Amino acid sequence: MEDRRKIRTKRVIKETFLDLLKEKEINKISVAELADRADIGRGTFYLHYKDIYDLYEQFENEIFDQLEVFYDNKILNSSFSNVEKFVELIIEYIFANKEIFQILIGSNKGIQNTNKFKEFFKKKEWELSKSINGEVSEYQKVESAFTVAGVVSVLEEWVIEGMIISPDELEKYLKKILLKF
């Protein structure tokens, strides 16, 4: 996967896709229109992606891979790794990349919900709790599902509503809530 043509094509597809996402919801975007705008043959699109949603997913995956790299690097240099640190870092990253998250989460509305956010937090939550507890009780599983969904939903609503309150404010609130657990 180092052929220049592939790289160029995928790049122009992603760029055009982002432009279109700014204009309309994902379910209104057709492969035909995208290919036309990107000046590639329609069939070429299918050489790289199953359909528009597949393109969306791969795009989303790339963003969250980047988020993970950022998180893992920062957390290594941190003396203590806990949920508080997680909240800090994630909020920092989202705020620094607000445009992309607004497009991603915004277009998410109305359709689709693999919910990468939830998956990501679940994974990190598990990595944290693994190091602490050996066995996990049924109750702990439910509690964990609860907090994960809670944090993710708060973050999502914060982004969707245009980040009206400051990152610091949000961080304070989330930490206060998580103190209860």
Binding site for a second copy (CB under 8 A): 108, 110-115, 118, 138-139, 142-143, 145-154, 157, 165, 169-170, 173-174, 176-177, 180-181
Candidates 37, 21, 41; CA nearest to 29 is 21
**With CB under 7 A as the contact rule, which of the stretches 29-37, 72-80, 88-96, 115-123 interacts with DNA?**
29-37
- Those residues with Cβ within 8 angstroms of residue 66's Cβ, 6 or more apart along the chain or in another chain: none
- For residue 15, give both structure tokens: 């760029």
From 14, 18, 37, 48, residue interacting with DNA (rule: CB under 7 A): 48
In angstroms, what is the minimal distance from the CB of 65 to a second copy?
21
Q: Using CB distances below 5 to 8 A depending on partner kind, what does residue 69 bind out of DNA, a second copy, none?
A: none
In angstroms, what is the minimal distance from the CB of 49 to a second copy?
15
Considering the rule CB under 7 A, would residue 52 count as an interface residue with DNA?
Answer: yes
Number of residues that bind DNA (CB under 7 A): 23
In angstroms, what is the minimal distance from the CB of 104 to DNA?
20
Q: How far apart are CA 83 and CA 177, in angstroms?
A: 11
Candidates 122, 118, 92; CA nearest to 105 is 118
- For residue 100, give both structure tokens: 């992309």
**With CB under 7 A as the contact rule, which of the stretches 16-24, 40-48, 79-87, 111-119 interacts with DNA?**
40-48
8 Å CB contact between 40 and 12:
yes
8 Å CB contact between 111 and 104:
no
Considering the rule CB under 7 A, would residue 23 count as an interface residue with DNA?
Answer: no
Considering the rule CB under 7 A, would residue 32 count as an interface residue with DNA?
Answer: yes
| 127-129-133-135 Cα dihedral, nearest 10 degrees | -80
Q: Which residue has the tokens 């989202």?
A: 94
Which residue ranges make up the site for DNA (CB under 7 A)?
2-6, 8-9, 30-33, 39-44, 46-48, 50-52
